[in-house]
Amino acid sequence: MEVSVSNEQQTGRSVLVTGGNRGIGLAIARAFEANGDKVAITYRSGDVPEGLLGVKADVTDAGSVDAAFTEVEAAHGPVEVLVANAGVTRDMLLLRMSEEDFTSVVDTNLSGAFRVIKRASKGMIRLRKGRVVLISSVVGLYGSPGQINYAASKAGLVGMARSLTRELGSRNITANVVAPGFVNTEMTAVLPEDTQKSYLSSIPAGRFAEPEEVAKVVRWIASDEAAYISGAVIPVDGGLGMGH
């Protein structure tokens, strides 16, 4: 099959970033905005960052996800680039972890991604193009004590992206996973200082990442330049998870 490969960078696409009101999600939203895309973000409370279309959504609720997509579609057209970024942690060693600690994290990080992908895929199939980027974590494949719930949810995203690739790859839709290591955000700021120090000592780069360093990789994997990459796991972790 002949496929024309354009050198022009696509802009003006309808992009939706879940949990894009702060942290890594906001940096991702800003990166697409700088590319000239029409960017919407989901948020649950607080203010919408300037210049972005904010739609209220809780990814644990399919009805709320549907309403958010409907709003984005009305303003920007069908979502062509979906970044499933919303995520939570509820760290606890296994013996003290309740079933609720486990299922609530999986419900947001993994089932939440399912809900938004399912809703977005309808429009992408119709458009005959789409980019899905799932924000996982180095700990999804590396493991982490106290994060059985979080690591399981983040590992699940890999199987999700790969299955999506096999289902929808022939329709010009790609699905990839970006797996950040430790990034300077509110999520890591709450870690005790000695935990941060011990993580730092195991990162070959010797530092945490800035959210923008993750955002640029997400923007690239959603670009035309990466049209033939699908089902990949791209680490942005300063070498922490090498080989996994």
The residues binding ligand NDP (CB under 6 A) are 18-19, 21-25, 42-45, 57-60, 85-88, 108, 112, 135, 137, 180, 182-183, 185-188
Query: What are the residue ranges of helices labelled H in 35-61?
Result: none
Q: Which is nearer to ligand NDP, 32 or 43 (CB)?
A: 43
Query: What are the residue ranges of helices labelled H in the chain?
Result: 23-34, 62-76, 99-106, 112-127, 139-142, 148-168, 186-189, 193-202, 211-221
Q: Which is nearer to ligand NDP, 48 or 127 (CB)?
A: 48
Distance of CA 157 to the CA centre of its chain: 10
Shortest Å distance, C-beta 184 to ligand NDP: 7
Shortest Å distance, C-beta 10 to ligand NDP: 25
Question: Exposure string (b/e) for 19-39, b if CB count within 10 Å is 16 or more?
Answer: bbbbbbbbbbbbbbeebebbb
Q: Which is nearer to ligand NDP, 2 or 50 (CB)?
A: 50
Q: Which residue has the tokens 């490969």?
A: 5
Shortest Å distance, C-beta 8 to ligand NDP: 30
Q: Which is nearer to ligand NDP, 78 or 112 (CB)?
A: 112
Q: Which is nearer to ligand NDP, 10 or 181 (CB)?
A: 181
d(CA 103, CA 26): 26
Shortest Å distance, C-beta 237 to ligand NDP: 8
Shortest Å distance, C-beta 61 to ligand NDP: 8
DSSP states along 73-117: HHHH-S-SEEEE---------GGG--HHHHHHHHIIIIIHHHHHH
Which of 43, 142, 150, 228 is an active site residue? 150
Q: Which residue has the tokens 């003006």?
A: 12
- Please indicate whether residue 150 is annotated as part of the active site: yes
Q: Which residue has the tokens 């999520």?
A: 187
Residues forming a β-bridge with 133: 83, 176
Residues forming the active site: 150
